[in-house]
Amino acid sequence: MTNTVPSAAAPPAPTGPAVSVRESDSSALAAFFSAHASLFVLTGAGVSTASGIPDYRDRNGRWKGAEPIRGQVFRRDAGARRRYWARSFAGWPRVAAARPNAAHGALAALERAGLVRQLVTQNVDGLHQRAGSQRVLDLHGRLDQVDCLDCGARLARERMQQMLAAANPGVRPASPARSAPDGDVLLGVDAEDGFVVPSCPECGGLLKPSVVFFGENVPRPRVERAFARLDASAGLLVVGSSLTVFSGYRFCLHAAKRGMPIALLNRGRTRADELAALKLDADCGAVLGAVAACLSAGSGS
């Protein structure tokens, strides 16, 4: 009997923002860019929602679904790894098919105009690079890569998808009810039982996505590089993040301690609201698109 594991349907390619933007919001953020050119930009899941990749939290910073798998659990619990890879096998096509949206494109344009010094993203989808941004630091890693925890070999996520399919020939895709930003989808126990997880093709070791799982620490060299780039910037802009997780919030604390101006563009509250000189509760793509159109034209780029 063929077993069925849900597979996320590919979202349509974005056609541009369909959300109106208040002139006061775009004007205020354009003024912030102009006054503090060479910004450090931190982005979160809210930047990618228009690309069909859902976010983790609601407007108040609460989990929309179950907490993501913790790194310690993934490493020590074979059953948890089986559940993770079964869900990831189903959800990866949605992430792979996602396309950059207006927010990604606007940030790339603002970088080309010389207004973004460094872009640090908490997302693992690689959409900033696909939109043309060059100065990107993937704080939590990349979902399109898989690492062996034993020998250090790295392989493309597409190859892992092929290995998962070959190891589970009776599994066929269907549509899931819900998915998460890391490609994880909610499955029934029947779909997870018996799912076979392949080992590293080089050494037979344990394979893990090249991302920082919940409860793990961001590698120190990566954090130090981000702080160095923040110190060399004129201000901090946070886009699409509630900053609930400390790995992003610490940049706001650092900027505030140094007296650097902070702007926030996010739907709903953030952990750094009281630290910000400018807080906009608005659509990321619409506001950034208007700002980029104004400032990029003014720079002649």
| Cα–Cα distance, 110 to 300 (Å, whole number) | 12
| Residue 250 sits in the same domain as residue 197 | no
| Residue 133 sits in the same domain as residue 248 | yes
**109-129 pLDDT, tens digit each:** 999 999 999 999 999 999 999
| Cα–Cα distance, 47 to 108 (Å, whole number) | 13
| Cα–Cα distance, 156 to 161 (Å, whole number) | 9
Residues 6+ apart with CB under 8 A from 181: 45, 48, 53, 54, 55, 56, 123, 124, 125
Q: List the CATH number of the domain containing 184.
A: 3.30.1600
| Residue 221 sits in the same domain as residue 236 | yes
Specify the pLDDT at position 172: 62
| Cα–Cα distance, 191 to 174 (Å, whole number) | 11
Q: Is residue 259 part of a domain?
A: yes
Q: Which of 301, 10, 289 has the alpha carbon at shortest distance from 131?
A: 289
CB atoms within 10 A of CB 49: 18
**Element of type H or E holding 218:** none
Query: Is 254 among the catalytic positions?
Result: no
| Residue 149 sits in the same domain as residue 278 | no
Partners of 39 in the beta sheet? 116
Specify the pLDDT at position 190: 55
Return phi, psi of residue 171, to 5°: -90, 130
Q: Which of 298, 281, 299 has the alpha carbon at shortest distance from 21?
A: 281
| Residue 79 sits in the same domain as residue 162 | yes
Query: Quick check: 243 and 249 in contact, CB under 8 A?
Result: yes
Query: Quick check: 85 and 187 in contact, CB under 8 A?
Result: no
Q: What does the pLDDT profile of the chain (301 residues) look like in tens digits?
A: 344 444 443 333 443 444 556 889 999 999 999 999 999 999 999 999 999 987 655 555 454 456 678 999 999 999 999 999 998 998 888 889 999 999 999 999 999 999 999 999 999 999 999 999 999 999 999 999 999 999 999 999 999 999 999 999 987 655 544 455 455 554 554 557 789 999 999 999 999 999 999 889 999 999 999 999 999 999 999 999 999 989 999 999 999 999 999 999 999 999 999 999 999 999 999 999 999 999 976 665 5
Query: Quick check: 6 and 180 in contact, CB under 8 A?
Result: no
| Domain ranges, residue 257 | 22-53+99-140+216-301
Q: Which of 36, 104, 128, 140 is catalytic?
A: 140
Q: Is 130 helix (H, G, I), strand (E, B) or coil?
A: helix
Q: Is residue 7 part of a domain?
A: no
Q: Is residue 149 part of a domain?
A: yes
| Residue 244 sits in the same domain as residue 129 | yes
pTM reported for the whole predicted model: 0.84
Number of domains in the chain: 2
**23-63 pLDDT, tens digit each:** 899 999 999 999 999 999 999 999 999 999 876 555 554 54
Specify the pLDDT at position 170: 80
| Residue 195 sits in the same domain as residue 118 | no
Partners of 13 in the beta sheet? none
| Residue 128 sits in the same domain as residue 245 | yes
Side-chain-side CA neighbours of 277 within 13 Å: the count stands at 17
Structure token digits, residue 171: 């599994």
Domain end marker among 211, 241, 261: 211
Domain end marker among 182, 211, 240: 211
